[in-house]
Structure 1
């Protein structure tokens, strides 16, 4: 394959180091040289643009890309749900995200068609359906509907929101089923949540022993468990059971952060979804959902500061829901307000790659790494609002292939 040099730009390599002028050579999907393009080389002229690693969103729900009330009310055809999923996948790529971790909602077929190139989208790591306790967070069936009918709402190969377990044996069976369907990691809901009608944020769900069953099964397959968790009791249960990562972490206090640090448990805060839910024109949810989230943004910001001071690894996830997922970079903008644009970029690249277990291949601009690259028309490190503007993404390169941008 011909070498292509991305030349004439400034490189922010994902490590947090000061950006510097450099040209990047790509061959067979891999970064092979970083330096100065030789005379006569085939080049893509960046004309001074900032070049960063492809962004990584560690908390997405591609399978929840349709209007939420209509989807949860089972009012949509499989064709419409599929169209919305594929549209969101393409928009995610165009916003500069070359890798995402889907934390519940899609079935294995979506991952496959994107990987085969039949649908434009980022690299997808998926847990398949999330795991929740009977009637816990992740279950959206009607109160009158028998529990055993819940899984009949799944669309095999396309959409599968959650599997419910009433005890450790059922959980073991269900997580094995997730792996059979192609899951690359597991996600459990161990506290109540915001978008849900059967629980409260202060609820804890699953016991330490039950969570440990999922950890045992994941470890047997060389992978890990992450957990949806808002309150400290649920987070501490999950840490003691051996999970790798906590999603949201809204109420993390200092003792819990120290416990996470001691056990090398990472945190993925999710700010963008809070703003999305609080905006009545952005997401069609029941008004009670907005009441649940009152004060959550402030508490999550405090948890972020406490976790950072404790030395917890902190990634980045948007958790956007419904049809309004095109401004996925909003999460970087919000994080930049709380920390810095560079810290947001590092969390969305090298740190996220490390949390996802793919840090040896993506997340940084380094020789030998996969050529996942984004060129920005304006510098988001000077103005973090640029992260949230898909039109500011001039080029997107995924594994060496230019997926967005005119090279002429």
Structure 2
């Protein structure tokens, strides 16, 4: 059984008045005889029972749990764990390229809906979206009209002229003050070349519902005009974004690879560094001293598929730095979140789960799973009152959101189970609603 609950109710909801659009009723569920990975521990619990009510985990007990009207699921000793969280995802940029995406935004939004459903069915119940116009998609998922993960949106990527995220062409130059290019009108990225522009565009993203702000403080691999070693925003420009975000109770995360880009961002008040693959020891020490979050990705050769030849040299430089950043993370005990940063490729998106296995070069299976659940959930709390889902995510504890996976096997012993969501994730639940249940298909 797939897409129980919202997908069935969606037909009726689509015919309702807009004011009636809301999540359908969620009957209680009791998981019996499950062993729990709670998102924090190194070991599974003993046989336990878990009650889900109104989208939250309402009880955990080794004793029997009885609840009127509850659906009872016999876990048969299988593992119940939190839904996976991708801390660096691009909801709107998976199924399209920069050219095709801007050519037909209606197509782009529809493809994003298809990919959002696929993301949920891979067991990712939450994504932190680091750039793109995902506000509408988030709204329709939250209303229960299509299946998809919780989305923590950043809105448009803030970049500078020729910076990472600037996908304009020479035909768009020279820029005329006050005019927007198709890229900017679509909300993919905004070119901001002064503190005032940065401040304004930051506030525009917050106005639309951004839970955090994304800047590109250095060069990138995929962008055509940004050298990898370039440091882009000035101190004053980054400080303008940090101040505007802080005034709204949230934070700025920056794309940065090099020591200079990372240090400039930290000294300007940034709380989260995305990537950082090319930093040095001094910069890693600074991150530890300032209690800065590292949100990074265990890239491998597969991530280079589809990149233009002009990007391959930059890609391999970043790839060579992957071990570097994880060794620093372990050496200085940096607060480290896990994400994938997959762009412009639905084929690579299908390997989203597999990228978690890349962490085994530096971490145990338990540490990798903790990163993709409880640790990533802790990062989400940085959004403060801008948090669109105020509560605990990525944990199995009373009061946390009921975003749960029932796994056929023990992923703390065999992490490869998470790379086979079609067969090994028997149940996928988000917000107390079961979207997939193939327990009846098992021998």
Q: Secondary structure at the match of 1:98?
A: strand
Aligned to 1:327: 351
CA distance, structure 1, for counterparts of residue 193 and residue 371 of structure 2: 36
Residue 290 of structure 1, aligned match among 285, 293, 312: 312
Deviations 1:67-94 (A, max 9, x none): 426436x44x233212220111011111
Contact 2:164-2:219 at 8 Å conserved across structures: yes
Alignment of 1:143-222 (within 5 A): 143-146=170-173, 147-148=175-176, 151-154=181-184, 160-222=187-249
For the pair 1:304 / 2:326, whether they are aligned, the reply is yes
Q: Secondary structure at the match of 1:31?
A: strand
For the pair 1:340 / 2:367, whether they are aligned, the reply is no
Shift in alpha-carbon separation, 1:134–1:154, aligned structure 2, 3 A = closer
CA distance, structure 2, for counterparts of residue 378 and residue 224 of structure 1: 38
For the pair 1:278 / 2:309, whether they are aligned, the reply is no
Contact 2:184-2:191 at 8 Å conserved across structures: no
Alignment of 1:1-400 (within 5 A): 3-21=28-46, 22-36=48-62, 38=64, 42-68=71-97, 70-71=99-100, 74-75=102-103, 77-146=104-173, 147-148=175-176, 151-154=181-184, 160-272=187-299, 274-279=300-305, 284-322=306-344, 323-324=346-347, 325-357=349-381, 360-391=391-422, 392-400=424-432
User: What TM-score do the two structures reach when normalised by structure 1?
Assistant: 0.92
Shift in alpha-carbon separation, 1:232–1:136, aligned structure 2, 3 A = same
The gaps in structure 1 that reach 5 residues or longer are none
CA distance, structure 2, for counterparts of residue 55 and residue 186 of structure 1: 22
Contact 1:151-1:163 at 8 Å conserved across structures: no
Q: CA deviation at 1:197?
A: 0.8
The range that moved more, 348-357 or 62-71, is 62-71
CA distance, structure 2, for counterparts of residue 39 and residue 352 of structure 1: 30
Aligned length in residues: 398
Shift in alpha-carbon separation, 1:393–1:340, aligned structure 2, 3 A = same
Contact 1:104-1:129 at 8 Å conserved across structures: yes
Q: CA deviation at 1:382?
A: 2.1
Q: Secondary structure at the match of 2:427?
A: strand
CA distance, structure 1, for counterparts of residue 365 and residue 311 of structure 2: 30
Residue 435 of structure 2, aligned match among 383, 392, 403: 403
Deviations 1:276-335 (A, max 9, x none): 3323xxxx3312212211142231221111122112100000111222212321221111
The range that moved more, 385-394 or 348-357, is 385-394
CA distance, structure 2, for counterparts of residue 342 and residue 71 of structure 1: 40
CA distance, structure 2, for counterparts of residue 104 and residue 388 of structure 1: 25
Shift in alpha-carbon separation, 1:69–1:136, aligned structure 2, 3 A = closer
CA distance, structure 1, for counterparts of residue 139 and residue 320 of structure 2: 39
CA distance, structure 2, for counterparts of residue 394 and residue 260 of structure 1: 40
CA distance, structure 2, for counterparts of residue 196 and residue 78 of structure 1: 20
Contact 1:277-1:290 at 8 Å conserved across structures: no
Contact 1:336-1:342 at 8 Å conserved across structures: no
CA distance, structure 1, for counterparts of residue 363 and residue 249 of structure 2: 33
Contact 1:25-1:32 at 8 Å conserved across structures: yes
Contact 2:164-2:226 at 8 Å conserved across structures: yes
Aligned to 2:19: none
Shift in alpha-carbon separation, 1:102–1:39, aligned structure 2, 3 A = closer
CA distance, structure 1, for counterparts of residue 45 and residue 201 of structure 2: 49
Q: Secondary structure at the match of 2:52?
A: strand
CA distance, structure 2, for counterparts of residue 38 and residue 16 of structure 1: 23
CA distance, structure 1, for counterparts of residue 427 and residue 197 of structure 2: 46
Contact 2:96-2:108 at 8 Å conserved across structures: no
